[in-house]
Homo-oligomer: A and B are copies of this chain.
Amino acid sequence: MISEKMKPLVNNNSAIRAMFEEGNRLAALYGRENVYDFSLGNPNVPAPKEVKQALLDVLNEEDSCFVNGYMSNAGYPDTRKAVADSLNRRFGTAYGPQNLIMTVGAASAINIFLKTILDPGDEVVTFAPYFVEYGNYVRNYDGILRVVPANTRDFQPDIEGLRAAVTSRTKAVIINTPNNPTGIVYSEETLRALQNVIAEKEAEYGTVIITVSDEPYRELAYDGVKVPWVPDFLEHAVVVYSYSKSLSLPGQRIGWLLIPDSIPEAEEVISAATIANRVCGAVNAPSLIQRALIRCIDASTDIEAYNANRELLYGGLKELGFECAKPQGAFYLFVKAPDGDDARFVDVCKKYNVLVVPGKSFACAGYVRLAYCVSNDMIRRSLPAFRKIAEEYGL
């Protein structure tokens, strides 16, 4: 019954489900409070109160047929204007509503953009470690994902690796900053180097290579680190955004795709991406949260809660002898397996009721990802378990 393309996805899925079921099994055996689940990127910080108020106000003040009805496939014009204005205020840009398509989260935005530009056999480059779904998204349109191996020195993208990976079939490069799973923010220097290599390859092959900047973690940056605005550095960049993390709304499925005028044939690309939004079945981003967004566009999540988690978990693990780059953004730690074997590290953690994701899920073996979008109390209670794990490794 299942299509050939779906079969490997069904088979791979069992690993993720196995972890989920393992969590439930451990919780049943030892009690939920004695299981330390760092496996999921589901924000534990509630949405800012402005979001709830905006939703209530929209429901009470705006016309039902308007709030619940179809609008342009690209979204309500005033929602798109609110987003454009907010970007312009923050980054000194000059985007208009016509540069934005409201989408069913960032995942849908990446999909509709790839559908817009990819022909079968076209290539997309990304950098390990990377969000594993990128591969599925690219294969949805019969593209090929080329992965540049991880630069484990500082987890900035490997520029020479990019130079080696780009071919005449490369249509796009997906970047993700702040990064899942490392928490690393791409530096201005990195972005300049990316632009140089891409421009060099565009000239060599006579092609256009679009940088797709996936930025759901943009607002989650610590220690005053500035997350550079990617289109200021990459000439041919589109930006994909989601309010899943910045406003703690992953279930609501709301995000956008920005296609700046600097993209060749921008108007036609925007029109095609809008149609892709329709024919992929999304049709439009959910209407109610689109309306609410206008009223809470400048709300922000409680970044200090994540920062306290980061300090506690990073500090605790370092003290125990684990190796880890200190994340500047997002809500993940990417911790080195003490003996380099991430599968074994996952198993040892599990022995002490600690659930983490192996690095090979991000094409970067030898590490595990810990999501610290959990309660500070859970982190505190987990530290004795990590002590035992460290002891088991003789740290």
Task: Spell out A's residues near B (CB within 8 Å).
Answer: 1-6, 9-10, 13, 40, 42-47, 51-52, 55-56, 59-60, 63-65, 67-71, 104-105, 107-112, 115-119, 122, 133, 136-137, 140-141, 208, 248-253, 263-265, 268-269, 271-272, 275-276, 278-290
Contact = CB atoms under 8 A, between A and B. Distances in A.
Given A117-B2, A248-B64, A271-B10, A281 B280 contact: yes
B133 A5 contact: no
Identical subunits present: 2
A1 B118 CA distance: 9
B133 A68 contact: no
Contacts of A268: 1-2, 10
Given A1-B208, A42-B69, A69-B42, A281 B248 contact: no
Contacts of A52: 59, 64
A289 B252 CA distance: 9
Contacts of A111: 280-281
A8 B250 CA distance: 34
A134 to B, nearest CB: 11
A72 to B, nearest CB: 9
The 10 closest A-B pairs by CB, nearest first: A251-B287, A108-B281, A111-B281, A46-B64, A107-B281, A136-B279, A286-B286, A1-B265, A68-B249, A42-B70
